[in-house]
Structure 1
Amino acid sequence: MSGLRCVDVCAGAGGMALGLEQAGFDPVLLLDRKPVACDTLRRNRSAWRVLQTDLLDFAPSRHRDIYDVDLLSAGLPRVKAGAVAAPSGAAPELRLVEATVYLVHAVQPRALVIENVPGLVDAPDLEPMRDFIREELHHLGYRLLWFLLNAADFGVPQHRRQGFLVALKMPWFDAFRPPAPTVRESFSVGRALHRSMAAGGWPDATRWAGQAAGVAPTLVGGSESRGGADLGPTGTRRAWARMGVDGGTVADEVPGPDFRWAPEAGRQGMVRITTGQAALLQGFPEDWVFAGKKTARYRQIGHASPPPVARALGCAIRAAFVGPESSLDGYTPTL
């Protein structure tokens, strides 16, 4: 079997689709409601068919080529704490969960992936949502598995716990195993960003990289209605400060030869990361281009699903379809 096809909804900056492409899936349709995200997708993969529309308004009957695809993936907006735990008429994030499940009715993929916050898997207040998903998908002949993955276990230099639902039709469900970690040791921030930090001639790049010896805290994209780009709330900024990084903002460019790194002096003595460096911390390749101004770029990055995790998950699903030998050592992107 070859030429596996997938549909990716709420595609964002393309982290999920890119990882699935690397795992051997051909994205036949990507859907997102934000113009800037669709622009990002088109800039990086001109051959991908990108549709700008809200998932709640999507009419699959107008896109019949998506029927019977192998995989439907959805990196849905994060379900917020305190969201009403009932799909119909609830918070917007839960309505999108409901819409994804109803899309399965029409598309009938062999497999479904929904990625969200860790609470997707076991939060008590989301149990009604899980019950809804389970009942609907069981009715359609799917079996479900809920599990957590940490991006740091897949070579991403970031502590990022993700909640996943994977549903497959029989007999492929019995052959599926969640992906195992792909690295033995975590990839540190300093190792990931040393080269880019030194690119502007900053003489302290090596010394800084030695201090930034841990993985990054979870990047947070933030709300569209809240301020500019920063690396997260107070606790996250403290973790960045221990690496000598000012987490209160995002830089326009890497430090130059005259920058004096003195983190003991406070924020003005700390280095700042750029949106391109944030993308590296999210597992994107260096040549992945993000559309929009700085804040828009950073939000796309912060909300993205890390491609290395999506690749590992795609390889696990592919192995369930065609056998363990299907895990790929390389891939040929559609440019």
Structure 2
Amino acid sequence: MTGLRFVDVCAGAGGLALGLEEAGFTPALLLDKKAVACATLRLNRPGWPVLEMDLLDFSPQQHRDIYDVDLLSAGLPRVKSSATSARTETGDELRLLDATVYLAHALRPRALLIENVPELALAPSFKVTREAVRSELNHLGYEFDWFTLNAADFGVPQKRLQGFLVALDRQHFSAFRRPRPTTLTPRSVGEALLDSMAARGWQDAERWAAGARSVAPTLVGGSEMRGGADLGPAGTRRAWARMGVDGRAIADDLPGPDFHWQPDTGQGGMVRITIEQAALLQGFPADWKFAGKKTARYRQIGHASPPPVGRAIGQALRAALTGSETSRAGYTSTP
């Protein structure tokens, strides 16, 4: 597992970068404009080269050591599903997509990976955007693939559809294979959180877990302009309520031995999940820490790309770039 370097822009809390690291890639630079995200990256990986800067202001000429990277990756802010196909009417999210493609023009990595909403890969409303990307990448000598994955197929206890663009130089593209699911049976919320729910002696932890048999709804970080940390809009909260979880807020601590779980009495009798449990549902390891106050920490988690999905795509890219059968076998395994 040696030799492959990557630049990650809009790195956020490091979910995609962590997955790529687990797949054998070494970061040459991680860039994000938010101070709290950069603090999270430095907190967990003090040796990672982290730069706090807006991608729209980034000049690669000032970082000459990144010109020989193998991969440029980007977990871009979510484009709005209602975006029109007219390029003049798109917002900052699509300008960041343009900036990522232009950065690939400057760096000429052997591979490019962009993660976003599935609509960007599939929806007719983004056809003009995809055509612009196609034209530029073809001009640069890349071949590419748009596709979607569900994080639940990769051991993440959450229904989370993600859209991906993978591009490689023509020498390596024919060897690329989309990641195949690593699990046949999705991991449930109850299975993922049982140990933590029981950690402070909550008597009903096993009974709760037995009823929380489905994967979590998609965790949503929310807008910087809206209120505090919660588990999403009304429809999402109803899905949580069916698992005996109150989605109106994030708990400050795990339930203790005196907590009486009575979901039939309404939200007051339901359990709430903590920031750390939300991170587990996003596929982060238990020892990954998040900087900032409660709402900022939750938003980083909700906006993150699940590390297990990043690892699966990283292994697929590594197999294509190195011709490694070991890497290829890594992303076709069963749990």
* TM value normalised by structure 1: 0.96
1:312 is aligned to 2:312: yes
How far apart, in 1, do the equivalents of 2:307 and 2:204 lie? 30
The match for 1:168 is 168
Secondary structure at the aligned position of 1:85 is classed as coil
How far apart, in 2, do the equivalents of 1:329 and 1:265 lie? 49
How far apart, in 1, do the equivalents of 2:47 and 2:272 lie? 35
Q: What is the one-letter code of the residue matched to 2:114?
A: I
Note the C-alpha offset of 1:88.
5.7
How far apart, in 1, do the equivalents of 2:236 and 2:172 lie? 40
Alignment check: 8 A CA contact 1:113 1:165 kept: yes
How far apart, in 2, do the equivalents of 1:5 and 1:87 lie? 33
Alignment check: 8 A CA contact 1:68 1:110 kept: no
1:130-141 mapped onto 2 (5 Å cutoff): 130-141=130-141
Note the C-alpha offset of 1:233.
0.9
1:48 is aligned to 2:85: no
1:1-335 mapped onto 2 (5 Å cutoff): 2-87=2-87, 90-327=90-327
After superposition, the C-alpha distances for 1:265-296 in whole angstroms (9 at most, x for unaligned) are 11100000001000000000000000001100
In structure 1, stretches of 5+ residues that fail to align are 331-335
How far apart, in 2, do the equivalents of 1:309 and 1:122 lie? 19
Alignment check: 8 A CA contact 1:87 1:97 kept: no
Note the C-alpha offset of 1:321.
1.1
Secondary structure at the aligned position of 1:171 is classed as helix
Alignment check: 8 A CA contact 1:11 1:32 kept: yes
Secondary structure at the aligned position of 1:143 is classed as strand
Cα 1:56–1:165 shift into 2, 3 Å: same
Note the C-alpha offset of 1:170.
1.2
Note the C-alpha offset of 1:68.
2.6
Q: What is the one-letter code of the residue matched to 2:218?
A: T
Note the C-alpha offset of 1:328.
8.5
Alignment check: 8 A CA contact 1:216 1:281 kept: yes
After superposition, the C-alpha distances for 1:52-104 in whole angstroms (9 at most, x for unaligned) are 00000000000011113100000000001222434467301011001001101
Note the C-alpha offset of 1:197.
0.3
Alignment check: 8 A CA contact 2:142 2:168 kept: yes
Note the C-alpha offset of 1:324.
4.0
How far apart, in 1, do the equivalents of 2:229 and 2:104 lie? 35
Q: What is the one-letter code of the residue matched to 1:146?
A: W
Deviates more, 1:28-37 or 1:87-96: 87-96
Q: What is the one-letter code of the residue matched to 1:139?
A: H
After superposition, the C-alpha distances for 1:96-155 in whole angstroms (9 at most, x for unaligned) are 001001101111000001100010111111111101100000000001101110000000
How far apart, in 1, do the equivalents of 2:146 and 2:329 lie? 27
- Structure 1 stretches of 4+ moved >4 Å: 86-89
Alignment check: 8 A CA contact 1:315 1:326 kept: no
Cα 1:147–1:45 shift into 2, 3 Å: same
Note the C-alpha offset of 1:3.
1.2
Alignment check: 8 A CA contact 2:316 2:328 kept: no
After superposition, the C-alpha distances for 1:250-276 in whole angstroms (9 at most, x for unaligned) are 001100111000011111000000010
Q: What is the one-letter code of the residue matched to 2:24?
A: G
Q: What is the one-letter code of the residue matched to 1:196?
A: S
Alignment check: 8 A CA contact 1:87 1:98 kept: no
